[in-house]
Amino acid sequence: MDAEQRPVRDAAPEELTALPRLAQISNAMNRGRLAQRATEATGLSLDRPALSILLTLAMAGEPLRIGEIAERMQVVGPHVTRQTQGLEQRGLVRRVPHPADRRVSLIEPTAEGAAAANRYTASIVGWFSEVVADWPTQDRQDLGRLLAKLADDVTAHLAKEDAPG
């Protein structure tokens, strides 16, 4: 019997607790306006898609092609192209030539764009650091390790499902 056919009551206890807890965290963060406060910390008026592109570029640590940005964000290229053009007009990102192929443009944050992304990230990290400040070091390390594993596994699993064939 596959997962779709198995009754929820037959799921392992850890399978039953994870999803409601993830929803609880998401709801609490949305109610608490965490993302909105972090966006305000950038000092810029940015919508969520534009900010996501800026954060993706800042975290990449290297210039990326539009397709690479879209892949990392798991969205379609035209969406990224429109948002990137707006960020470019505002001086938050710039196009640079690909070192091996001058026909290809790469996108990187400007100093102002990188600073805004850093302010956003610092706001989020600061908030989460306060939440877990009283946790034992091992618990904080375990959380980081397990969240990284979950994010990697979810991304890989979705990529397999989205692959042609």
Name the residue range of residue 165's domain: 134-165
Query: What predicted TM-score, i.e. pTM, was given to this entire model?
Result: 0.76
Beta-carbon contacts of residue 34 (< 8 Å; ≥ 6 apart): 124, 127
What is the distance between the alpha carbons of residues 7 and 76, in angstroms, rounded to a whole number?
35
Element (H, E) at 93: strand 93-97
Read off the pLDDT of residues 133-158 as tens digits, 9 standing for 90 and up.
999 999 999 999 998 998 888 888 88
Tell me: pLDDT of 4 over 70. Answer: no
Read off the pLDDT of residues 77-132 as tens digits, 9 standing for 90 and up.
888 999 999 999 999 999 999 888 888 899 999 999 999 999 999 998 999 899 99
Provide the number of structural domains found in the chain: 2
Query: pLDDT exceeding 70 applies to what percent of the chain?
Result: 90
User: CA dist 105 to 3, 28, 126, Å?
Assistant: 44, 40, 35
CATH of the domain at 86: 1.10.10.10
What is the distance between the alpha carbons of residues 86 and 139, in angstroms, rounded to a whole number?
41
